[in-house]
Amino acid sequence: MGEHIERPDDALVHAVRSGDLTAFNVLVERYQHAVYAVALRLLRDRFLAEDITQDAFLRAYTALDSYRGGSFRAWLLRIAHNRALDTLRSLQRRPTSSLDLAGADVHAEWSGEPAPASPAEHAARGELRRRIEAALATLPDDQRATVILFDIEGFSYEEIATITGVSLGTVKSRLSRGRARLRALLAVDETSRELLEGFLRQANDGPSERSSGSE
């Protein structure tokens, strides 16, 4: 497996197709964090997210012939995203879903907190992040998936268009609407608004892009 680590995705896909099975696991190592993170943020249930991640890689392996170049990680995430949405829909059809119960334990799972500026500041920032995540959970699925993929996981508009199977324009409008809704949700809550304003006061001390509104 060692000789594969540096190889680009398409070279690894080619190796898998010509019978080198270990090359596939290099791709798994490369993308399992992204697949699991997206599945967990969409479903907010660790066990479902684990199932979907496992299933996505199995499907990707058996359906590798249907990958026709482009972005492998977008192709892979498309499989995971579709599976996650299918699961979400089947859960939402049932009134007593595990989603409400599972939401609470998600936060305990995060690892690697960013370095704190000061204890109080760190606590406020953590609380704000927690509130943003809670607000994110209330967005419609399509907006939520787009915000997760773009703002959290850092996929490009083009990749998200592939993953979610919609046009670039739709991706952009979902992102804009999702963010606007997040802001509106935070603004109506007194504590959240104050936390956000406190965060902005700190941020104004440092440089920030486009936040002043002019290009």
Partner 1 sequence: MRLTADGHPSDELLSAYLAEAIEDPAVEAAVSAHLDTCSACREQIAQLHAITTLLAELPAPSLPRSFALTREELERLRPRPWYLRYQPAFRWASAVAAVLLVALLGLDLLTAGPAAREAPGPAADRRALPEPAAATPVAALSAPAEPTAGAEGAGGATPELAPAGKEVPTESIGVMAATPEPAVTTPAPSPAPSPERETAMTSPLRLAAAVVSMVLAVTLVLGFLLPRLAARRFSRTP
Contact positions vs partner 1 (CB under 8 A): 17, 19, 21, 24-25, 28-29, 32-33, 35-37, 40, 46, 50, 53-54, 57-58, 61-62, 64-65, 106, 109-114, 125, 128-129, 132-133, 136, 147, 151-152, 154, 169, 172-173, 175-177, 179-184, 186-187, 196, 199-200, 203, 208-215
Question: Minimum distance from CB of 95 to partner 1 (Å)?
Answer: 27
Residue 7 or 183: which CB sits closer to partner 1?
A: 183
Measured distance CA(23)–CA(120) in Å, rounded: 47
- Least spacing, CB of residue 152 vs partner 1, in Å: 5
Residues 71, 159: contact at Cβ < 8 Å?
yes
Q: How far apart are CA 212 and CA 33, in angstroms?
A: 34
- Tell me the C-alpha distance between 4 and 25, whole Å: 10
C-alpha separations of 8 from 28, 107, 144 in Å: 13, 33, 30
Q: Among residues 74 and 136, whose Cβ is nearest to partner 1? A: 136
| Smallest gap from residue 90 Cβ to partner 1 (A) | 22
Task: For the beta carbon of residue 84, count every other beta carbon within 10 angstroms.
Answer: 27
| Shortest distance in whole angstroms from residue 173 CB to partner 1 | 7
Distance CA 36, CA 42 (A): 10
Tell me whether residue 54 or residue 98 sits nearer to partner 1 (CB atom): 54
Considering beta carbons, is residue 82 or 172 the nearer one to partner 1?
A: 172
Say how far apart CA 130 and CA 127 lie, in whole Å: 5
Q: Which amino acid appears at position 22 of this protein?
A: T
Q: DSSP string spanning 36-53?
A: HHHHHHHH--HHHHHHHH
Whether the CB-CB separation of 139 and 183 falls below 8 Å is answered with: no
The least CB distance from residue 57 to partner 1, in Å, is: 5
* 55 vs 82, beta carbon nearer partner 1: 55
Nearer to partner 1, 7 or 179 (CB): 179
Q: What's the DSSP call for residue 34?
A: H
Q: How far is the CB of 39 from partner 1 (least distance, A)?
A: 10
